[in-house]
Structure 1
């Protein structure tokens, strides 16, 4: 008999930014590294003979909680990957709710007929996960192994072990990031000892504790998921200016002159770089919730993607939406080869400073500002792994 610990990766960008990441190679969040530390403590005294993970960054990094502390080699296996979602990869859940709602419902219910172009079916995921677990268990008879995989892939295996096919898994639970499922495997027989156990996570670092989609019928629509559309600066200059003015007054007060023309000129320069990407509206349903401006040329030679303006309308603040604008910036700059996000923030803008610090930005110098020096903040978005 082989004992198998099947572990979901720590919180990653898709979980935080509300984007669809199957085979997309996303990074671990700062909170995810705290989850990895908690997982390391859980397994500190548990004998493990071998560690495997999918070949994606988020599982390989999470696996360090065990293989590094136990002096083992990490072996990677593509068969342990998340469900591949083809043309959905790195799109926002909010966009899919708006443009592909029927297939999203099929996805949320693990329907037999779910598939997107270039992606997998749930039946394919069930079969490859079961084959992988049986094969690895057979290679380690009488031993204990740890496998690091992904939420939907783990759920598919749990369904397959119970004899539940696609379309029959609605009653199964959902796995928190770094949650542990324990299996006993003997020949072709798999027994679930326990599943989706996140008891090592304090509530303040649990991903599921702050999300709603898994608690309510209807799936991911229970959370506030944004989508993004280009802002046409030639026809919507007043919308942009109003957002800029509101942000200026919020920071500087109403008595400090606002340079509308200067801001518009800079925005037009950015917009002309790529009208489809440089300036966009963050949409919640049919309402504009925010504005994101990117400068696709500035600091390119330094491998940085510059964000001149990130703004959430007052009525949409304190709802956890701003981080999705950071996700949109990552999604735009990473394919361009940028490894850092960069922006400037007034040192006395406490609310913004706390927001950016919470999501991984750190001060790395100062820049001239119109009324005072500004802090230059940076967030690393490259793939060099950190120690868990």
Structure 2
């Protein structure tokens, strides 16, 4: 018999930013590293003979919880990857729901008819998952193995082992990040001992504990943003931009004597003309929820992506959606080869400083602002393992 622990990766960018990351190579979040530490403690006294993971960063990094302290090599396999999402990769869930609502409904229902353009179907990931797990088990008779994979991969593979078809998938739970499923495999026959166990996580670091979409009967809604392009030749968009800038300044400083609305608009227009992606309108349903302004030229030589302005309308503040704007900035800058996000934040704006630091920004310096210091802040978005376990 092979004892096989099937483990989901730690919280990654897609989980936090609410973006579609199937085989997109996303990073682990700061909270994800806390989950990895908890997972390491869980397995400290559990004998493990071999460790496998998909060849994506988020699984390989999570696997460090076991293979590093136990002095084992990590064996990677592409067939342990998440469901391929094709043209949907790194798009926002809310944006795809608007443009392809019918197909999104098929995804939510785990329908065998689902397939994102250029992506995989659920039957395909089931076949791939079952073949990979049985092959790994065959290589390790009478041993214990840890296998690190992905949520949809695990859910469909375990469903196949349990004999659950598409119609029964809705009754299955969803695995938390770093949740553990235990399989016992003998001569190709699989017994599911337990599944989706996250008992090593406290509510403070559990990803699912902070979300509501998966809870039946929960009336609270997670707000997923989508992003529309700005058009600064249109009066409505110019007015919205100026309104956001002025409200942010007034809310922070309580005065407008040094406010230069024309200068802000001119800078935005210049960047927008050079690259329309430098301005994005954040939308919550049909309502304008905020905006994101980038300066693609600033810091480019140092492989930095500068965020000029990140704004949420008053009604969208304090509900956890601001991090989705950071995710949009990462999505735009990473393909350009940028390794860090950079921005400035007033020392008077303590809520914003706390927000940025919560999501991985660190203070790197200070400059003079209109009414006091502006802290320069940076967040690493490259692929080096900067959150390695001690």
TM-score scaled by structure 1? Answer: 0.97
Which whole-Å CA distance do the structure 2 matches of 1:158 and 1:127 have between them? 11
CA positional deviation for 1:165: 2.9
Report if the CA contact (8 A) 2:37-2:65 is conserved.
yes
Matches within 5 A, 1:1-388: 1-216=1-216, 222-235=221-234, 236-275=237-276, 277-385=277-385, 386-388=387-389
Structure 2, gaps ≥5 residues long: none
Shift, 1:97, TM fit: 1.7
3-state SS, counterpart of residue 157 of structure 1: helix
Contact 2:249 2:256 in 1 (8 A): no
In structure 2, distance between residues paired with 1:218 and 1:153: 26
94-103 or 65-74: bigger deviation: 94-103
Task: Give the Cα separation in 2 of the matches to 1:273 and 1:281.
Answer: 17
Is 1:53–1:59's contact at 8 Å kept on the other side of the alignment?
Answer: yes
CA distance in 2, matches of 1:264, 1:82: 42
- How many angstroms does 1:257 deviate by? 3.1
CA contact (8 A) 1:212 1:222 kept: yes
Q: CA RMSD in A?
A: 1.4
Is this contact kept in 2: 1:216–1:222, CA < 8 A? no
- Is this contact kept in 2: 1:110–1:168, CA < 8 A? no
The whole-number CA distance in structure 1 between the counterparts of 2:218 and 2:210 is 17
Q: Quick one: structure 1 residues 255 and 242, their matched pair in 2 at CA, closer, same or farther if it must change by over 3 Å? A: closer
What is the TM-score with the length of structure 2 in the denominator?
0.97
CA distance in structure 2 between the aligned counterparts of 1:19 and 1:217, rounded to whole angstroms: 24
Give the direction of change, closer, same or farther, for the CA distance of 1:370–1:174 in structure 2 (3 Å limit). Answer: same
- Cα distance in 2 for partners of 1:255, 1:126 equals 59
**Runs of 4 or more above 6 Å deviation:** none
Gap change, CA 1:199 and 1:306, over 3 Å in 2: same
Give the match's secondary structure for 1:205: coil
More deviation, 335-344/161-170: 161-170
The SS at the match of 2:366 is: strand
Deviations 1:57-79 (A, max 9, x none): 00000000000010000000111
Q: How many residues align?
A: 386
| Distance apart, 1:217 and its partner CA | 7.4
DSSP-derived class of the 2:190 partner: strand
Q: Answer whether contact 1:273 1:296 (CA < 8 A) is retained.
A: no
Distance 2:100 2:273 in 1: 30
Aligned equivalents of 1:218, 1:354: Cα separation in 2:
29
Shift of 1:214: 1.0
Question: Could you say what secondary structure the match of 2:63 adopts?
Answer: helix
